[in-house]
Structure 1
Amino acid sequence: MLSTQHEVFLEVARRLSFTKAGQSLFLSQSAVSKQVKALEEYYQVGLFERLGNTVALTPAGQLLYRKLLQAQQLQAELRAEMAALSPRFTPDIHMVIGASTTVSLYVLPAVLSGYLAEHPHTQLTLKNRNSENILKALLDHEIDLGVIEGIHRVSNVTYTPLLTDDVVAVCSARNPLRHQQLALTDLYRVPLALREAGSGTLAVLEQALQAQRIRLADLRVQVRLGGTEALKNFVRVDDQVLAFLPRQAVARALAAGELAEVTVRDLPLKRHFEFIQRRGTENLAPFREFMQFALRYYSERE
């Protein structure tokens, strides 16, 4: 088992911030500093270089960080293998999952609830960021498992399909566009409200437009908003803009008449949600069991 001091060091090394590490671990900054100082005294070497309000890992800190990441994975593998050999061995499992905004709000809550009911010894943490930042968090060992959409693939990550959803064009119920069917050329004149760079929804839209030889930079993008809910709420109150949002995110607003769906001919938009894992962690039991549970949950609802 990794010591508390090593766990604290890992969090500071991930975030390169004593303050952010303390917030994540629910410790005061002084408590975090005390744990790191104890490690530095033990190893008789500095682990962080203090640069004003920021910190950086020293060569010794970089070495310790790499080795502790390996130890963390070995620890997870050991727990899984011991549990397979001894049914009475039921250690508490802490799993950190990262998911894009839409997945966190509309796809995972029911899955998390059902999984915890069947696995009472598991503690789950869900981190909500856009798809690009979830991939980065996985590669930085900040999360154990991610669910993302619509971004480029990297070689040291394993991808497992979860489900498919539509992205639809929507506008306010008061917007004159609500009665129209748009051609692709109409998009050059319609004011748009879109998600921020790094969003999986935006990536899907960009790819579909590129397939039709339309550059997003040539369209009338009036505002970019971070987060699905922020964009949805903006469209509700603005009578001019058109937005592209996941169907799961706007289903209730469409049914309630708060938003209206607008058809854009020849622009099919499909998002593919996928689990992402660091290569080498595919067979760890907690991750595999959670993924299998989520896949069963959605396959039974198709």
Structure 2
Amino acid sequence: MLLKQMKYFITIVDCHSFTEAAEQCFISQSAISQQIKSLEKELGIRLFERNKRQFSLTPAGEYFYRHGKVILDEIEDFKEETIRRGEDQELNLTIGYPKNFSTSEFHQAIVEFNRIYPEVNISVVSGTHEELFELLVQHHIDVKISEQRRTFNEDYYNYELKHSECFVEISSMNPLSKKEILTTDDLKNMSCILVVSKDKEDSEREFYEKSLNLSRRFLYADSLEQARLMVASQRGYLPIDQIGHLPKPMEGIERITLHYKGKPIQRNYFACWSKENTNYYIEEFVEMYKGLLNK
């Protein structure tokens, strides 16, 4: 059985006509009819029930049509990916990762991905959630890892990675550090320390005020390390995203679950990338990262 015979058969069914199918396939009607007869002869069954100028599918023909379309689509994807790999002199994958995330799984995913796909050069860009979205829209990164902060855009794939609780880090010298849980009311008289890029302070503050009900007093740090030094010196508390396994906090800091109205604050984390620019490597990395997060 030839792939072109499968294509001829599917085209006939889609067009509901041997004549139109022959035109689409750039062959004569007699030639396409002969190819279908050869296909039926090889299979030893009838795919069409013919009645003068009309036809219908036999049960076998319906099965052949349904599964044949899937096979042809897979072959087309396979062909396109092979061509793309042959044309690309250098394969690059740029991942946007929030600067306030702290997780070993992300780095493990990069190491494992590079082991399996050494031909791909991975680079990482860090920023706030809003900065990463802008970079994604401008095609400066291929995929971003972040929590859900906006309504999903249908032009992008939004692949859920993990659903987990929110924590805060607080100085061990603060009496609140002895509590098993902390509430937003407990923290209302303290400053909230955010890891944020310059000129993005307002959007980050607004999110933490409105979405997480945190204090209206904010301090800002350029990096996670700087923020933790501020926590240790009792300048405020630091909200922490638990997207993976969190290492023990540095000495002088306690990490405690954050609650609001009697329930833990939970957040959803996603990988997001453009449908227009999707490719095999993005999907493979995201799947690998999710597997590590949910071990």
TM-score w.r.t. structure 1 length? 0.58
- CA shift for structure 1 position 123: 0.9
1:101 aligns with 2:123: no
Aligned match of 2:50: none
Structure 1 residues 285, 262: closer, same or farther in 2, change over 3 A? closer
Out of 215, 235, 252, the position equivalent to 1:258 is 252
Q: Which amino acid aligns with 2:136?
A: L
Aligned match of 1:193: 193
Q: Which amino acid aligns with 2:132?
A: I
Retained in 2: the 8 A contact 1:177–1:262?
no
> 1: distance between equivalents of 2:78 and 2:205?
35
In our comparison, the structure showing a higher alpha carbon Rg is 2
Is the partner of 2:247 in helix, strand or coil? helix
> 1: distance between equivalents of 2:93 and 2:211?
33
Is the partner of 1:178 in helix, strand or coil? helix
| Number of corresponding residues | 212
- CA shift for structure 1 position 183: 4.9
> 1: distance between equivalents of 2:220 and 2:228?
12
Richer in helix (by share): 1
> 2: distance between equivalents of 1:249 and 1:237?
26
Please tell me the root mean square deviation across aligned C-alpha atoms, in Å. Answer: 3.6
- CA shift for structure 1 position 114: 0.3
> How do 1:147-166 and structure 2 match up within 5 A?
147-155=145-153, 156-166=155-165
Deviations 1:252-300 (A, max 9, x none): 343x653113455425222322111113234x2222222222233334x
> 2: distance between equivalents of 1:122 and 1:294?
16
- CA shift for structure 1 position 84: 3.8
Out of 284, 289, 300, the position equivalent to 2:284 is 289
> 1: distance between equivalents of 2:84 and 2:246?
46
Out of 121, 128, 131, the position equivalent to 1:130 is 128
Q: Which amino acid aligns with 1:170?
A: E
Aligned match of 1:207: 211
Structure 1 residues 249, 189: closer, same or farther in 2, change over 3 A? farther
Aligned match of 1:21: none
Give structure 2 stretches of 5+ with no counterpart: 1-75
Percent sequence identity is: 14
